[in-house]
Amino acid sequence: MRLYNANFSPNALRVRAVALELGIDLEIIEVDIRGGDNRSDEFLSMNPNGKVPVLVDDDFVIWESRAINSYLASKKPERGLHPDDPKSRATVDQWLYWQAIHLGPAMQKLSFERFLKAKFGMGDPDQGVVEAEQKNVDQFLAVLEIGLADKDWIAGDLSVADFALASTFMYRAQSDISLDDLPNVAAWIERLEARQSWKDAFAPVRKLLGL
């Protein structure tokens, strides 16, 4: 299997982490987004959105990181990362969709304004956007704090939802996103980031950030 990847992408990060957690070997193919690799005819033939990640498994091509991770989890169903039980799977999917629609966009917009703009020479932060997204981040992190009460993992057992949620935290330190008042969230992300799969998946990001 080949993964078309960009190391700064939280979407690609969560796929690398899930593959490593499952012990699935991926051939990593770097896509130079700023150089326009994602706009080539070859890439657009795989994903007309022009975005990473894209997974190629023989003649099967799939994009969207959460769909990719569900597919990878289906390769190792005994690991339970996307469980077969309908109620358990619905709970995992609930948090996957919530991350995609609410927490992920808010944290990514805040990270872009506070960190990535300067990192890639794209101008100064828009303070109006910063203020609006900080409010959204605070609101959504409060929901996650409640969701993690008395749990090690968001759906009870470790799942693809934990990896999806965790990927939105990748630039939290650089973006001044504090978890001081969110003990459940802080303990959960520390627990997830201590896993070897996450450490190995995050290694290219650490190199990118010079950590």
pTM value is 0.95
Residue 165 pLDDT? 98
What pLDDT is stored for residue 110 in this prediction? 96
H or E element at residue 4: strand 2-5
Distance from C-alpha of 201 to C-alpha of 211, rounded to nearest angstrom: 14
More confidently predicted of 116 and 78: 78
pLDDT of residue 211 exceeding 70, the answer is no
Domain residue ranges of the chain, discontinuous segments joined by +: 2-79, 86-196
pLDDT digits (tens, 9 = 90+) for 37-71: 999 999 999 999 999 999 999 999 999 999 999 99
Residue 119 in this model has a pLDDT that exceeds 90: no
Rounded Cα distance, 26 and 92, in Å: 24
> Average per-residue pLDDT in the chain?
96
Distances (CA, A) of 191 to 38, 77, 179: 34, 23, 14
- CATH class of the domain at 86-196: mainly alpha
Q: What fold is seen in the domain 2-79?
A: Glutaredoxin (3.40.30)
The average pLDDT across 169-197 equals 96
